[in-house]
Structure 1
Amino acid sequence: MQNYTNGMSAALIPGTWVKSRRSEANGTCVEAVGLPHGGVALRNSTDPGGPALIFTRAEMESFLDGAKNGEFDALADAN
């Protein structure tokens, strides 16, 4: 079984990477892929072989819950 770790090359993670339908055409988007046992890997779409961030199912559930509740909206307005 593959050991997925933060910072490993995203190119080494098999699967179909997906991105939001709202991603911009110029490539400013984050892509995600499901991992065995419910984990998730994230990568920068402009650097598909660059480092991946690895999250457990519980971590992603917590983050998505916060995002749905607007807890990170201020980060998008930080400019």
Structure 2
Amino acid sequence: MQQIFNGVPAGMLQGIIWVRSRRSAMEGNCVEMAALPGGAVAVRNSRDPEGPALIYTRAEIVAFLAGARDGEFDTLVE
């Protein structure tokens, strides 16, 4: 299996489906995520779809989403 590093050009990730939140603004201020083979998750900025994609393990994404649901990051956008 090919090893994928953080900062890989998103355009190199072929055959995946990028998903964005329905809450994203129409101006393109969106974070998009995609499931990768093997369970990892890629994250990219929709304004730069060919730019870098950060790769996280499933466990890292689960921990991040749990923290977001619990409001742990609310102070970053107040």
TM-score by length of 2: 0.93
Count of aligned positions:
77
* Corresponding residue number in structure 2 for 1:56: 57
The yes-or-no answer on 1:7 pairing with 2:7 is: yes
Unaligned runs of 5+ in 1: none
Task: Give the structure with the higher percent strand.
Answer: 2
* Partner SS, residue 38 of structure 2: helix
Q: Provide the secondary structure at the position in 1 that maps to 2:8.
A: coil
Output the CA distance in 2 between the equivalents of 1:3 and 1:27. 30
Identity among equivalent pairs (%): 56
**1:28 match: secondary structure:** coil
SS of the equivalent of 1:52 reads strand
1:32 maps to 33
Amino acid of the residue matched to residue 72 of structure 1? F
